[in-house]
Structure 1
Amino acid sequence: MTLDDPHTTLPDHQLLRLAPRDERAFEALVTRHAPAVHRLAAVTVGPGAADDVVQEVFVALHRSVKTFRGDAQLSTWLHRVTLNACYRALKTRKTVPLEDAPEPAAPHDPVQAGEQSDLRERLRRALDTLPPEQREAVTLREIAGLEYAQIAELTGVELGTVKSRINRGRAALREWLTRAGVRP
């Protein structure tokens, strides 16, 4: 698909109508939404498992494209499907012995890459300490970049509840990260 392809400018609802019979329309949806799905998956299950989650999400979209009712925005639906796929992946995750883990590719700046990796790991551990509802709300807001109203729609709770979960989650994360020696 090229940038001059007319599919790239169509809104999601039109692409969804075209997708059952037009492969390029479905491709446009994947191209548009894959980065956000991957970001959310990478934070939730880790970068190594994120690709599998992304694939599962877009297979689910492909299966559902004919019957998608549009009760919610496609991006909202994709976030819910992504989170569900992540939760399934976490339940079935097997740990790999360190000696069987593949060697990482040599980063350009080993010091910076190590610091970033350490910070991501601390953030993941901090997120794991939150109650599931707070972790989901904070992840959807801070990682996926959703607005409060979108999170409320996605999770099926009131807007005030979303704000409260995010506020409490942020406070708990700040406290945990401060204790872990991470400074803003």
Structure 2
Amino acid sequence: MTLSDSFSQLDDAALVRLAVRDERAFEVLVNRHAAGVHRLAASTVGSGAADDVVQEVFIAVHRGLKGFRGDAQFGTWLHRITLNACYKALQARQNIPFEGAPEPCAPHNPVNSSEQADIRDRLAAALQTLPPEQREAVSLREISGLDYAEIAAVTGAELGTVKSRINRGRAALREWLTQAGLKP
């Protein structure tokens, strides 16, 4: 068993403590959480900008590790950093003129990939119609898979408020997708 393998057996809290001085521990954190960060970023800013957001997130995490006190779970802190990076990217995009569609992903099956990309684009467009608080709560629940209490910790909202935002957001998404010709 290598040292990297032994790092992968540690929980996030232990890895965070080690990652302050050991890049291998940080690498394990990145590998463990990158896919989830990417899913959340892609749902918020679109797949074309998600890679840049993920990079910004882990740069911010690396810089902030020394100051991370552990008052919240690492995952909660990471989701907050991810959402902040997404909002920063969306703000920057508003100041830049639209230059065409996002760069497509390399498809394995062109027909299926095209249909999936269309559905993802419609869902991303639908998410953008939600008020920011609802979009954030729905994304954290449906894309990141956080439970209501974790979403409350990330957003700083009361548990009942989180449930209400998710319920209202789901209803609005269902209506938007139905009007767009998709069966939710």
Q: TM-score, normalised by structure 1?
A: 0.92
Contact 2:148–2:159 (8 Å) recurs in 1: yes
- Superposition deviation, residue 104 in structure 1: 4.1
Which residues in structure 2 correspond to 1:118-137 (within 5 Å)? 118-137=118-137
- Superposition deviation, residue 103 in structure 1: 6.8
Tell me what 2:182 maps to: 182
Which residues in structure 2 correspond to 1:12-161 (within 5 Å)? 12-93=12-93, 94-98=96-100, 104=104, 107-161=107-161
- Superposition deviation, residue 133 in structure 1: 0.6
Amino acid at match of 1:86: C
Give CA deviations for 1:14-50 in whole Å, capped at 9, x if unaligned. 1111112211111111111111111101111111111
- Superposition deviation, residue 97 in structure 1: 3.0
Amino acid at match of 1:70: G
Whole-Å separation in 2 of the counterparts to 1:37 and 1:141? 13
Q: List gaps (5 residues or longer) in structure 2.
A: none
Whole-Å separation in 2 of the counterparts to 1:96 and 1:61? 30
- Superposition deviation, residue 7 in structure 1: 0.1
- Superposition deviation, residue 102 in structure 1: 8.4
Q: List gaps (5 residues or longer) in structure 1.
A: none
Give CA deviations for 1:45-82 in whole Å, capped at 9, x if unaligned. 11111111111111111111112111111111111100
Secondary structure of the 2:162 match is helix
- Superposition deviation, residue 170 in structure 1: 0.4
Contact 2:19–2:25 (8 Å) recurs in 1: yes
What is the percent sequence identity of the aligned residues?
A: 71
Amino acid at match of 2:145: G
Whole-Å separation in 2 of the counterparts to 1:45 and 1:176? 18
Aligned pair count reads 182
Give CA deviations for 1:76-125 in whole Å, capped at 9, x if unaligned. 11111001101110111234534xx7874663322211111111111111
Distance 1:121 1:38, change over 3 A: same
Contact 2:127–2:173 (8 Å) recurs in 1: yes
Amino acid at match of 1:108: H
Displacement over 6 Å in runs of 4+: none
Secondary structure of the 2:174 match is helix
Secondary structure of the 1:17 match is helix
Q: TM-score, normalised by structure 2?
A: 0.92
Whole-Å separation in 2 of the counterparts to 1:53 and 1:119? 22
Tell me what 1:6 maps to: 6
C-alpha RMSD over aligned residues = 2.0
Amino acid at match of 1:121: D
